[in-house]
A and B are shown apart, each in its own frame.
Chain A
Amino acid sequence: MNQYIFHPFVLPFVLGMAFVLTYCVVGLFRVICLLPKDDRKQFWRSLVTPKTAWANIRDLFGDCLFHVKIWKRNPILGYMHSAIAFGWFMIIVIGHVMLFTLKPLEGVEVEGFARTFTNFYYPIFYKHFATETPVFAFLMDFFLLMIISGILIAVVKKIYSKIVGVKRVTKFGFADNMVRFALWTIFPFRLIAEKSNIMAFWWLYSIDLMIFMCLLPFTRYMHIPTEALFILLRHAGLKPREPRKGYALAQIYSCPSCGLCIDACPMSVNDKMSGNTSAYFMKKLRNADDKEAKRIAETCMQCGKCVAVCPLSIESCDIKMTQREATPYIINSDHSYLEDRHFDRPQGAEKSPSVLYFAGCMTQLTPKIMRAMKQIMEAAGENYEFMDKDGGICCGRPMLLSGKTAEAQAMIAKNTEIIKQSRAKKLVLSCPICYKVFKEENHLEGIEIQHHTQYIDELIKNGKLKVNKGEVNYVYHDPCELGRAFGVYDEPREVIENVGNLKKAKSEKELSICCGGSLGSFNLTQQERDEITENSVNDLMFNNPEQIVTACPLCLKTFARKSPVAVKDIAEVVVENI
């Protein structure tokens, strides 16, 4: 029976491949069917809209094939991942291209269905059945060796991760370790089998492939097929609505547990807390461990750094919010006392103010920021008014963070009403927490919303506020909800450059470390928060600045507990130099 291109050793591979293909097709339908109807429509539409279609193509090539984001984050890991994934991809592609040029041994002709079935495994085991042209032989060997070089780095990373610049790696269970071992051995076996043609190695190669394919859907390697779908869904502009359905499900399966978020997470200051990071959260969700998923979701500080460093941009913070909404706390809130609140127009004021200033709860706790803002607005000759001079209504972000959306929306609506009553054209906020809510949730069309860093920067730029340049060395801390959430990085830095010297922190902008005071976390104890704060302060003190400047009253208060130097708000620093 030497006439057919077949040998029993191809069977394990065929079985594994058939299984994984079936699983992926079923999974694809499941994700799309579980999407809410509107989201599904939006998804189909995004596939044909030129702008999103172009973004899809760009990211499918850039992320799935060339892994641009990992290269940017860590070139060694970039090479490791590309060598294995891109190398494997090229071997598969070249293998199939070769089908057209290969002459099977002894001129066997296979037709019809048999031909199609043969093509299924032929490129994977071709060396046993045929010989290729020198050019292809070189290409195949080149990419095979490239894969093996990637695996070598992976083995080194497993033994001593610090050598590739990774402090903490994800801890895996049995299935993940098994698949990883299979993946590492597939290619050496293939190389030996191809060069020696020993039957045992062809069998090992094929069985390894089967183990990999059959366990793939239950492990982190599911990100290989899911990532493409996730990119399409993300560009459709969808938001996760439930922790384990539809879009969120695609994100859960796309998480490769690479662990880049573990080193990034501010909570990773010790081993115990590093178990609260997003990589583990996604794992718990995948394993339907609701209790742990809920605990991690409520421990997270929502600083968003894991999303910023994620090579797939998985929106783990949003998924944690849906988890909180799915199991909210049972307080029957009664905020009826807010109903008769309204805007207090000061006596004698006839005109509407051009600037409305909302300090917010946290700034009420740090009145020096309020005083500084008052001095700045007076020095600039602005027509301003305080919205919450005698205590205002909470912006609603803490309520949102606890998963109680309806109660939060009531507070948000009340604040919107008060702002509209004032008829101001511009709203200035001192607290980034409020800023996020007013920007995202309140419907304030026609009113410009600015954080005070942006406002002061504007005043200096259009000459309304004159400042002197001092000699003090400052370092600027990016508050999470101003920096990562809205990309306000340049305005505060320009303001500080105007009044003094700006030193760099060790981690800046989208990599800045949360101060540890975040309202996002419900579970962290004061001791745990203190550890996070100390780590963050050390990072800021990298270049020995004389003062730490921040733009968030909560960061200010948190840092003041642990900082060896003075901590000031950007408004105070400006007032000192008027």
Chain B
Amino acid sequence: MDFGFCLSPSSHVKMDSIDLTTFNRLKETNPDVNTCIACGSCTATCTAGNFTEMSFRRLLLMLQRGKEDEAKKMIQRCMLCGKCTLVCPRGINIRKILLDITR
């Protein structure tokens, strides 16, 4: 029966069973990911974010939650313009991290 609405699927993440290989590898090669304060400056300035839902802040969160496929899909939107790196108050080399995720 169609009520015109439904329950949204659970967004529950089981932290014990997710695969964090990519994020752990990233932490090793780019230790500065640990210093992110999720301020969202990268998202606010993103050239691709102007047209799509691209957001580096969310991307990092996805990786921390083991949602690797979603993260990799999001990276495809990136134009590598480097504005995120420029505005990051923590001096994180974001462009390098974006490139390293898929390496």
Q: What band does the interface of chain B fall in when counting residues whose beta carbon is under 8 Å from A? A: 20 to 34
B33 is an interface residue with CB less than 8 A from chain A: no
B51 is an interface residue with CB less than 8 A from chain A: yes
Given A362-B83, A391-B50, answer yes or no on A333-B93 (Cβ-Cβ < 8 Å).
no
Given A331-B76, A335-B77, answer yes or no on A398-B82 (Cβ-Cβ < 8 Å).
yes
Q: B47's contact among A331, A394, A526, A557, by CB below 8 Å, is which?
A: A394
Q: Does B99 lie within 8 Å of A402, measured CB to CB? A: yes
Q: What band does the interface of chain A fall in when counting residues whose beta carbon is under 8 Å from B? A: 35 or more
Q: A522's contact among B75, B83, B99, by CB below 8 Å, is which?
A: B99
Q: Which residues of A contact B51 (CB under 8 A)?
A: 337-338, 341, 391
Q: Which residues of A contact B103 (CB under 8 A)?
A: 329-330
Q: Is the interface of A mostly helix, strand, loop or mixed?
A: loop
Q: In the complex, how many angstroms separate the beta carbon of B86 from the nearest chain A beta carbon?
A: 6
Q: Which residues of B contact A522 (CB under 8 A)?
A: 93, 95-96, 99
Binding site for B on A (CB under 8 A): 329-335, 337-338, 341, 361-362, 364-365, 390-394, 398-399, 401-402, 404, 411, 517, 519, 522-527, 554, 557
Q: Does B77 lie within 8 Å of A402, measured CB to CB? A: no
Given A337-B52, A391-B47, answer yes or no on A332-B76 (Cβ-Cβ < 8 Å).
yes
Q: Does A365 lie within 8 Å of B96, measured CB to CB? A: no
Chain B residue with the shortest CB-CB distance to A398: B80
Q: Which of B53-103 contact A (CB under 8 A)?
A: 75-83, 86-87, 91-93, 95-96, 98-99, 102-103
Q: Is the interface of B mostly helix, strand, loop or mixed?
A: loop
Complex: A390 Cα to B47 Cα, angstroms: 10
Minimum-distance CB pairs A-B, first 8: A526-B91, A391-B50, A334-B76, A394-B79, A398-B80, A394-B81, A329-B99, A361-B81
Binding site for A on B (CB under 8 A): 32, 45, 47-48, 50-52, 75-83, 86-87, 91-93, 95-96, 98-99, 102-103
Beyond the given A399-B80, A522-B96, could you list 16 further A-B residue pairs with CB under 8 A, ordered by the A residue number?
A333-B76, A334-B77, A337-B51, A338-B51, A361-B83, A365-B45, A391-B47, A398-B81, A398-B95, A399-B79, A404-B80, A525-B32, A525-B91, A526-B93, A527-B91, A554-B86
Complex: A297 Cα to B96 Cα, angstroms: 14
Complex: A401 Cα to B77 Cα, angstroms: 17
Q: Does B50 lie within 8 Å of A525, measured CB to CB? A: no
Q: In the complex, how many angstroms separate the beta carbon of A562 from the nearest chain B beta carbon?
A: 13
Complex: A402 Cα to B48 Cα, angstroms: 17
Q: A365's contact among B86, B93, B102, by CB below 8 Å, is which?
A: B86
